[in-house]
DNA sequence: TTGTGTTTTATTGCCTCC
DNA sequence: GGAGGCAATAAAACACAA
């Protein structure tokens, strides 16, 4: 059969190739069930035969050729001219075909490599995202807890102040607001309201502007010149006294309270802004405040 | 059998290196 | 300027579902 193989006409050759195809299906694509020599002979015959018939048509390389090329690619994915010529001769291919095969193989390898890199990066990203989401949830929970605690603290302090003093922090806050509006009224001239008030009152008394000690004394007595202004002031004496009492308490004893308020405000600012932006994507978290406390 | 998507072989044009 | 590599692409071969 093999002895006469080269003598059979082309039709018979086609028939044999059909036979081979049937055998391929039976044994699987990579195991034809023929010897390597026979397979190589079929490949070369097919090439010679179809090389004339299928001019300009693409032909797939045989499995043996591909295997040999793959082996060479594993050794070195670049092809020197000597190796290219040697391989081409061994496999019965044009050197250009070998070069093109290596070029396409490198392209396939690169694509696979990109896919591998992508899957690795994606796995990393997914892990980090999971971690980030968890931290974000924790952060929100802590911020909510902090808000509740602050509200509770505010209520507690209001209750304790209300029982200890006549003037609750709320009423003091109201007074503060009134005072602020008063400041705005007076500061229209561009001067300090308190200073202006003192100046006005003193000028009515005829006392010196520079006598601040006297003013402080009168104020501290609670029976200040304001009370003895004979109704010259546009403000009622009681309200003036209250105002100066507030002013006094604010300037002397109330300073602590005001500072406390400011500190609370600062803390609140820190709590809302810094805690909310702590895990901001744009800004890396800094733990200086945390390490400082530690 | 056929339409369609995928793989493989080959070409083209551009770029870099010697 | 020629050789070789690479990206983009064409086109043939192949796989497979309907």
Element (H, E) at A246: helix A237-251
Distance A125 CA to B16 C1' (A): 36
pLDDT at A160: 86
Structure-model confidence comparison of residues A269 and A142, the more confident one: A142
Confidence tier at A164 by pLDDT (50, 70, 90): low
Residue lying closest to nucleotide C11, CA to C1'? A58
CB A241 within 8 A of CB A222: yes
| pLDDT over 60 (residue A189) | no
Question: CB within 8 A of A245, min separation 6: which ones?
Answer: A222
Asked if strand C comes closer than 7 Å to A57 Cβ, the answer is yes
Q: Kindly state the average pLDDT of the residues A193-209.
A: 38
Token pair of A233 as six digits: 């002031």
The pLDDT value given to residue A214: 33
pLDDT digits (tens, 9 = 90+) for A75-116: 999 999 999 999 999 999 999 999 999 999 999 999 999 888
Q: Which nucleotide is nearest to A99 (CA to C1')?
A: C4
Alpha helices in chain A (DSSP H): 10-27, 36-53, 63-75, 81-91, 95-164, 169-186, 193-205, 212-221, 237-251, 254-269, 275-277, 288-293
Please tell me which residue, A86 or A11, carries the higher pLDDT value. Answer: A86
Measuring from the CA of residue A102 to each C1' atom, give the nucleotide at the shortest distance: C5
Write out the two tokens for A194.
């308190």
Between A51-60, A112-121, A174-183, A260-269, the lowest mean confidence (pLDDT) is in A260-269
> Of A66-70, A118-122, A143-147, A199-203, which range is least confident?
A199-203
Q: Express each pLDDT in A125-139 by its tens digit.
A: 999 999 999 999 999
Instruction: Report the distance from CA of residue A30 to the C1' of nucleotide C11 in Å, as an integer.
Output: 26
A232 vs A3, more confident: A232
Q: For position A151, what pLDDT does the model report?
A: 94
- What pLDDT was estimated at residue A165? 56
Q: Looking at residue A45, what is its pLDDT? A: 45
Q: Is A249 exposed, middle or buried (0-12, 13-18, 19+ CB in 10 A)?
A: middle
pLDDT at A287: 28
The pLDDT, as a whole number, for residue A23 is 38
Q: What is the value of pTM for the model shown?
A: 0.46
Helices and strands (H and E) in chain A: how many: 12, 0
pLDDT over threshold 90, residue A183: no
Average pLDDT over residues A17-21: 39
């Amino acid at each position: 059969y093999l002895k006469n193989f080269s003598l059979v006409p082309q039709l018979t050759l086609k028939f044999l190739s059909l036979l081979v195809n049937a055998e391929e299906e039976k044994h699987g694509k990579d195991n034809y069930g023929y010897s390597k020599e026979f397979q190589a002979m079929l490949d070369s015959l097919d090439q010679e035969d179809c090389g004339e018939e299928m001019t300009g048509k693409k032909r797939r390389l045989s499995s043996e050729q591909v295997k040999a090329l793959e082996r060479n690619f594993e050794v070195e994915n670049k092809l020197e001219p000597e190796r290219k010529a040697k391989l081409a001769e061994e496999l019965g291919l044009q050197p250009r075909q070998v070069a093109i095969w290596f070029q396409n193989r490198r392209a396939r390898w690169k694509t696979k490599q990109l896919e591998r890199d992508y899957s690795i990066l994606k796995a990393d990203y997914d892990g980090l995202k999971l971690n980030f989401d968890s931290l974000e949830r924790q952060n929100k929970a802590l911020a909510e807890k902090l808000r509740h605690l602050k509200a509770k603290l505010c209520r507690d302090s209001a209750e304790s102040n209300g029982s200890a003093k006549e003037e609750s922090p709320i009423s003091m806050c109201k007074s503060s607001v009134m005072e602020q509006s008063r400041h705005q009224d007076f500061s229209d001239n561009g001067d300090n309201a308190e200073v202006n008030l003192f100046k006005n009152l003193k000028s009515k008394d005829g006392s010196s502007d520079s006598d601040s000690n006297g003013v402080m004394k009168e104020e501290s007595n609670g029976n200040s010149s304001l009370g003895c202004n004979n109704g010259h002031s546009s403000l009622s004496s009681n309200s003036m006294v209250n105002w100066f009492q507030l002013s006094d308490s604010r300037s002397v004893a109330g300073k602590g309270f005001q500072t406390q308020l400011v500190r609370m405000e600062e803390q609140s600012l820190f709590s809302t802004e810094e805690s909310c932006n702590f895990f901001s994507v744009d800004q890396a978290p800094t733990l200086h405040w945390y390490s400082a406390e530690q």
